[in-house]
């Protein structure tokens, strides 16, 4: 049986390992508002888990529509086992978790066969009504790819730009320069490594941008950051408008300095609005009007930023929307003007400083920059003066997560501990962000779960959270509790790990095999300081719940500190 399969299998691959035999993509451009994109794939399915490669979802929205879908399954001799029928196609609408409704529709099929191995073949064609969302080419998969190509057919003189990712050879030019073809062979599967940086998640690929694009009737240009900024500024300009009577309950006293005014307005926006994203049609890029946000009291990042700017303008404070790609999605490259932004913040130039404000955050103050927009290039939308500027980066000492405690260890291995958890900067935003939306019971359970990570029977006797609702105060969590089996006892010894709250575990792969850099989302510092009193002969005080030692105390202070000074470590530093 195996001999027959080996004989019938096409040359150059093993029938025992699933792989994409060929992945061909063709983008034929007719004009800036019409292009046809075709995807053809032949996949050898050799394992049960790889049957999931037969599940394909094709996106459809205002800017692209599906023209055709075909698929079939063949055995290794080429005999057709199954054909994809219309009834096998299912349609559903989908919006990512942070968007309430986006109008995106997906056509999905799942083509599998019970008997392995088999070859899955499918092809679909999409008509693009704008090149604004020019399909990128990322041919890497979870299985090896034997051969992949991207063919670009152009209508004569057509200006565009592209950027290669990884080692992609130059394109072959055909048809007198009107057709370009990039090809790759023997692409390894995704490495799926621990803490892979977003920019290294794709090892091979091409990203394109048109020099000129049309979107919902507007014409824009990606020839430079400035031209793109001009187009995006126009989307905002009409929308940053408020009736003079709107937001009449906003009280900002005359005579206060600009900084205080901004702070007051920011708090007003935080209190009066909620983040709700409904990005239908042109509103995937164009904000809803500030007046509408004021009336409805919700909006997405660009809506809230527009509303904030409109309120600032009322007090003659100049402010501008800034397009940004959050750091968890990867970098924007200076030399490659692109529309690959996923967020809008507000840029406020002041005499002595610049404020970068994220209106979607419910846990940040005016000076807090969320970790996800630190050190990212932001395109400041100032019409003809639009420019790309990098946001500031906080240092580890500004983002400290700290536990300080005193503890008494008894001969039974029981630990009585009393301490405080506190945090600053990004760490505080994260702590507040987790605890603030929870009910009191859930907060207690969450903190109990954190504190009992290494003390499985930890019982809380007292818990107090301070400063959670006051963004100007720091959050502190005071606790007292007992872990009755913290120490492991042998006949004469108690063996304890002094790190009660934080322990550093190595979760990565073999250092010799590491390919990508190691990524941390933010620079931070973790400190744990616990003063242990070992109590060989305890007595219980009537007044105090913590055990007292009658004699011979041994006091040891354990201090544990980790400082993450960079967010990106090269693979050479991984070991």
Partner 1 sequence: MTCIDDYTSKMYFQLVRYTDPYNNIKFIAEWSDLLDRIYEQYRPYLQGDRIAKNRAKDLITDESDPTRQLEVIYNFVWDSIDTGESKGFLGIGLQSVRTTLKDRQGSRGNKNLLLLTMLREIGIDARPVVISTRSHGRIYTRIPRLRSFNHTIVLSRINNKNYFMDTADPFCPLGMLPPNDITDYGFLITDDAFKVIKLPKQNSSSMYLAESHSAELKETGELTVNQTLRFEGYRNRNYRSLLAHSDSPEVFAEKYILGDLTNVTLDSLKIANLEDIMMPLTVHIQYTIQNFANIIGNHIYFAPALVQRLTENPFQLENRTYPIEFAYPHIDQATVNIKLPENCAISELPQDRTLDVHGLQFQRQFSIDGNTLQYQRRFYVSQTKLSERFYQDVKDLYSQIVQADQDQVVGTLQESK
Query: Could you list the residues that contact partner 1 (CB under 8 A)?
Result: 47-49, 51, 81-82, 110, 112-115, 413, 444-445, 448-449, 452-453, 456-457, 459-460, 485, 488-493, 495, 505-506
Q: Which is nearer to partner 1, 175 or 457 (CB)?
A: 457
Q: In the sheet that 476-483 helps form, which strands lie side by side, from edge to edge?
A: 458-466, 476-483, 415-423, 400-409, 524-534, 554-564
Q: CA dist 426 to 271, 373, 390, Å?
A: 21, 11, 18
What are the DSSP E strand ranges found in 61-204?
64-74, 80-83, 90-93, 105-110, 118-128, 145-153, 160-165, 172-174, 179-187
Residue 29's Cβ-count burial label (10 Å; 0-12, 13-18, 19+) is: buried
Q: Are 370 and 364 in contact (CB under 8 A)?
A: yes
Q: In angstroms, what CA-CA distances link 164 with 136, 169, 201, 376?
A: 10, 9, 14, 20
CB of 446 to partner 1, least distance (A): 10
Q: Which is nearer to partner 1, 253 or 510 (CB)?
A: 510
Candidates 462, 481, 497, 498; CA nearest to 417 is 481
Nearest distance, CB of residue 562 and partner 1, angstroms: 17
Identity of the residue, 444 or 558, whose beta carbon is nearer to partner 1 in the bound complex: 444
* Shortest separation between residue 497's beta carbon and partner 1, angstroms: 9
Least distance in Å: CB of 294 to partner 1?
37
- CA proximity to 148, closest of 137, 161, 159, 136: 137
Distances (CA, A) of 550 to 480, 547, 574: 22, 10, 49
- Judged by beta carbon, residue 107 or residue 112, the one nearer partner 1 is 112
Least distance (Å) between residue 254 CB and partner 1: 52
Distance CA 109, CA 26 (A): 21
Closest separation in Å from C-beta 15 to partner 1: 17
Q: Which is nearer to partner 1, 292 or 484 (CB)?
A: 484
Instruction: Provide φ and ψ at 50, rounded to 5°.
Output: -80, -5
Write out the DSSP string of 121-136.
EEEEEEEES-STTPPP
Q: Which residue lies nearer to partner 1 by CB, 445 or 539?
A: 445
Structure tokens at 357: 């404000």
Q: Which residues, in sequence order, are CB contacts of 173 under 8 Å at separation 6+?
A: 179, 180
Q: Looking at beta carbons only, is 67 or 192 nearer to partner 1?
A: 192
To partner 1, the closest distance from the beta carbon of 196 in angstroms equals 16
User: Rounded to the nearest whole angstrom, what is the least distance from the CB of residue 114 to partner 1 in the complex?
Assistant: 4
DSSP string, 40-61: EEEEEE-SGGGGGGGEEEEEEB
Partnered with residue 101 across adjacent β-strands are 278
- Residue with smaller CB distance to partner 1, 46 or 207: 46
Q: Are the C-beta atoms of 86 and 36 separated by less than 8 Å? A: no
Measured from the CB atom, the residue of 7 and 92 that comes closer to partner 1 is 92
Kindly state the smallest distance separating residue 472's Cβ from partner 1, in Å: 32
Is 142 in contact with 17 (CB distance < 8 Å)? no
CB of 496 to partner 1, least distance (A): 10
> Measured from the CB of residue 449, what is the shortest distance to partner 1 in angstroms?
5
CB 387 within 8 A of CB 226: yes
Closer residue to partner 1, CB minimum distance, 138 or 454: 454
Alpha helices in 436-486 (DSSP H): 440-451
Dig out the tokens for 389 from the structure.
């500027």
Nearer to partner 1, 301 or 483 (CB): 483
């Amino acid at each position: 049986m195996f001999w027959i399969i080996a004989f019938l299998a096409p040359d150059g691959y093993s029938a025992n390992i699933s792989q994409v035999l060929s992945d061909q993509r063709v983008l034929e451009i007719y004009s800036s508002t019409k292009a046809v994109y075709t995807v053809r794939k032949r996949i050898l399915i050799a394992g049960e888990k790889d049957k999931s490669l037969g599940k394909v979802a094709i996106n459809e929205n205002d800017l692209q529509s599906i023209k055709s879908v075909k698929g079939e399954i063949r055995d290794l001799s080429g005999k057709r086992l199954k054909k994809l029928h219309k009834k096998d196609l299912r349609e559903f609408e989908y919006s990512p978790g942070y968007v309430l409704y986006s109008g995106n529709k997906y056509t999905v099929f799942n083509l599998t066969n019970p008997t392995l191995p088999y070859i899955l073949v499918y092809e679909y064609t999409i008509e693009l009504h704008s090149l604004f969302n020019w399909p990128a080419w990322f041919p890497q998969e979870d299985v090896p790819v034997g051969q992949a190509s991207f063919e670009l057919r152009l209508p004569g003189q057509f200006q565009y730009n592209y950027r290669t990712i990884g080692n992609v050879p130059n394109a072959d030019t055909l048809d007198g320069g009107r057709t370009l073809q990039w090809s790759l062979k023997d692409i390894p599967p995704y490495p799926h490594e621990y803490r892979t940086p977003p920019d290294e998640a794709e090892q091979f690929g091409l990203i394109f941008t048109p020099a000129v694009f049309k979107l919902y009737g507007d014409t824009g240009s990606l020839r430079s950051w400035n031209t793109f900024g001009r187009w995006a500024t126009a989307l905002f300009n009409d929308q940053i408008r408020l009736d003079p009577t709107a937001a009449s309950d906003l009280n900002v006293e005359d005579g206060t300095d600009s900084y205080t005014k901004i702070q007051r307005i920011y708090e007003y926006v935080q209190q009066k609005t909620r983040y709700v994203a409904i990005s239908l049609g042109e509103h995937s890029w164009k904000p809803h009007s500030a007046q509408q946000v004021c009336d409805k009291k919700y909006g997405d990042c660009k809506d809230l930023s527009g509303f904030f700017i409109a309120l600032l303008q009322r007090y003659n404070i100049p402010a501008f929307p800034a397009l940004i790609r959050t750091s968890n999605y990867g970098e924007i490259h200076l030399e490659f003007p692109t529309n690959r932004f996923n967020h809008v913040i507000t840029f406020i130039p002041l005499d002595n400083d610049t404020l970068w404000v994220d209106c979607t955050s419910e846990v940040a103050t005016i000076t807090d920059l969320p970790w996800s927009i630190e050190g990212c290039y932001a395109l400041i939308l100032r019409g003809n003066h639009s420019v790309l500027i990098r946001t500031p980066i906080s240092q580890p000492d500004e983002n400290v997560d700290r536990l300080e405690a005193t503890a008494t260890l008894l001969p039974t291995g029981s630990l009585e501990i009393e301490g405080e958890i506190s945090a600053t900067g990004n760490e505080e935003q994260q702590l507040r962000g987790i605890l603030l939306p929870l009910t009191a019971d859930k907060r207690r359970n969450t903190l109990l779960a954190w504190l009992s990570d290494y003390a499985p029977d930890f019982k809380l006797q007292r818990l107090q959270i301070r400063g959670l609702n006051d963004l100007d105060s720091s959050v502190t969590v005071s606790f007292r509790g007992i872990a009755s089996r913290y120490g492991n006892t042998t006949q004469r010894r108690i063996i304890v790990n002094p790190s009660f709250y934080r322990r550093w575990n190595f979760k990565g792969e073999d250092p010799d095999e590491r390919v990508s850099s190691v990524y941390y989302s933010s620079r931070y510092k973790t400190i744990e300081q616990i003063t242990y009193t070992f109590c060989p002969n305890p007595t219980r005080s009537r007044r105090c719940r913590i055990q007292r030692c009658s004699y011979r105390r041994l006091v040891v202070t354990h201090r544990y500190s980790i400082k993450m000074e960079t967010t990106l470590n090269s693979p050479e530093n991984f070991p």
